[in-house]
Amino acid sequence: MKYKVLALSVLALIIYSCASKSSVPTTEVKKTEPTAEVKIATVMTPELAEGKSLYENNCAKCHKLYDPKDFSAEQWKPIVASMQKKAHLDDAAGQKIYNYVTMN
Ligand code: HEC
């Protein structure tokens, strides 16, 4: 009886050690790539694309096309308001241009 218990415990030990060995992951855990730089830029919607083309087609007639980054959203407001008049554009077009130049 004692022998049986010993045999059983030995068997259990063997099974346990085998089981614990096989539980070691065989596949190497791949390190995940550092997350790609999060894009802050707004996605170009059709509306913004329209603003872009309005801007490019109407706002470089009298001077070079200004870089949208040259001015802040706060600065663009009065600029677009006065420039849309110079370019003979309506408020809707002016708004689209404003949205485009201030998208980032
Ligand atoms: C009819 C000619 C004309 C058109 C068209 C025109 N501009 Fe201008 N723009 C000017 C003149 C002249 C100035 C400089 C004097 C002024 O600010 O009025 C100027 C200046 C600017 C400036 C510089 C403002 C500053 O404070 O330095 C920006 C930016 C600008 N325009 C953007 C635009 C945009 C955007 C459009 C299209 C909606 C546009 N312009 C269309 C004549 C024009």
* 17-71 confidence digits (pLDDT tens): 555 555 555 566 666 666 666 656 678 899 999 999 999 999 999 999 999 999 9
Report the separation in Å between the CA atom of 93 and the middle of ligand 1, taken as the mean of its atom positions.
15
Q: Going by C-beta distance under 8 Å and a sequence separation of 6 or more, which residues neighbour residue 100?
A: 48, 51, 52, 54, 55, 68
**CA separation for the pair 18, 23 (Å, rounded):** 9
Q: In the prediction, which pLDDT does 30 show?
A: 64
Q: Measured from the CB, is residue 54 less than 6 Å from ligand 1?
A: no
Q: In the prediction, which pLDDT does 36 show?
A: 64
- The answer to whether 101 touches 68, Cβ cutoff 8 Å, is yes
Q: In the prediction, which pLDDT does 92 show?
A: 97
Q: How many residues does the chain have?
A: 104
**Chain CA centroid to CA 53, Å:** 24
Q: Assign 15 a pLDDT band (cuts: 50, 70, 90).
A: very low
Among 56, 86, 103, residue to substitute to test ligand 1 (most atoms within 8 Å of Cβ): 86
In the chain, the amino acid numbered 37 is E
